[in-house]
Amino acid sequence: MVMISEKTRKAMEAIGLTSYETKAYITLLTEGPLTAQELSSRSGVPYSKIYEVLGKLEEKGWIDTDDSRPSRFYPKSPVTALESMRMRIESEMKEAEGVIMNELMPLYNRSGIKERPEIWVLRGLYNIVAKVKEVMLASERELLIALPSIATSISKQMQPMLRELRNKGVRVTIIAAENTDEEILKGLRRVAEVRLKDSMFGGGVISDSRQVILLLASERLSNEPLALLAEHTGLAGFAREYFNYLWQEAKSIKHQG
């Protein structure tokens, strides 16, 4: 039997062919029409399984058989077989969809359940800080932080987490407000790459291009701050691109500590 690439073998498995079915079909494809006994010995499919395998291949549209005695089995063209399989799957999917929709959609509609949102509104400083910590600690590769001056008061709470993330191999990048206290900057520079930006009107946290928190706060934290949490890769990716744009405009500072 001719050996096929692992990529092709996995592709055939992905569309529903078993290992035995693949072996039988490839043997017929390379050696031509064979009886069940011949196919078993040449493909390595056990004779006890060969008729079951041939029946499945015929059902799925990959082979044909003739009326000779003993019967001989023929491979169909891969194009024909794939088209036949595609049409059968689409037909089965359409039928299953109708049955499922007819019975389950009324149950869903009566339940009053709403689909899980992709964006949440966070209200209040403590709620925002708690969620920021949760998102930060879930980071595995990259954490981007835009830290406006109104949020610098919580930066000391962030430093132990940032140190832990850095030790785990997470790349932490921070854009801080230009008027950030030098002592705060010194602490941040120990655990992250930091640049300064003036006129920062908001802030945010982007974790692994998967989660993003956007801070929509007034200038005084005494007024209830608001933030948006999104678990949307498209929005997180857009936020990351904007962060990188701001990063290019921000001022570099020498690492200390």
Residue 143: give its domain's CATH number. 3.30.870.10
Give the burial class of 17: count Cβ atoms within 10 A of its Cβ; 0-12 exposed, 13-18 middle, 19 or more buried: buried
Residue 178, domain member (yes or no): yes
Residue 155, domain member (yes or no): yes
Same domain, 25 and 102: yes
Same domain, 110 and 97: yes
pLDDT value at residue 117: 67
pLDDT at 126 over 70: yes
Same domain, 104 and 193: no
pLDDT value at residue 175: 92
Name the DSSP letter for residue 67.
Answer: S
List, in sequence order, every residue forming a beta bridge with 75; answer none if it has no partner: 63
Top pLDDT among 202 and 16 is at: 16
pLDDT value at residue 222: 46
Least confident among 117-121, 222-226, 229-233:
222-226
Domain residue limits at 70: 1-115
Same domain, 105 and 179: no
Owner of token pair 């941040």: 188
Same domain, 128 and 245: yes
Name the pTM for this structure.
Answer: 0.53
Confidence grade of residue 83 (pLDDT, cut at 50, 70, 90): very high
- Mean pLDDT in the chain? 86
Same domain, 125 and 109: no
Q: Which of 88, 115, 142 is the last residue of a domain?
A: 115
d(CA 205, CA 132) in angstroms, rounded, equals: 7
Distance separating the N- and C-terminal Cα atoms of the chain: 66
- Domain count for the chain, please give it: 2
Angle at 46 between CA 40 and CA 48, to 5 degrees: 105
Q: What is the pLDDT of residues 152-208, one digit of tens each?
A: 667 777 888 888 998 989 999 999 888 888 888 888 888 899 999 887 777 889 999
Top pLDDT among 149 and 12 is at: 12
Same domain, 91 and 109: yes
**Is the bond preceding residue 75 a cis peptide, omega within 30 degrees?**
no
Confidence grade of residue 221 (pLDDT, cut at 50, 70, 90): very low
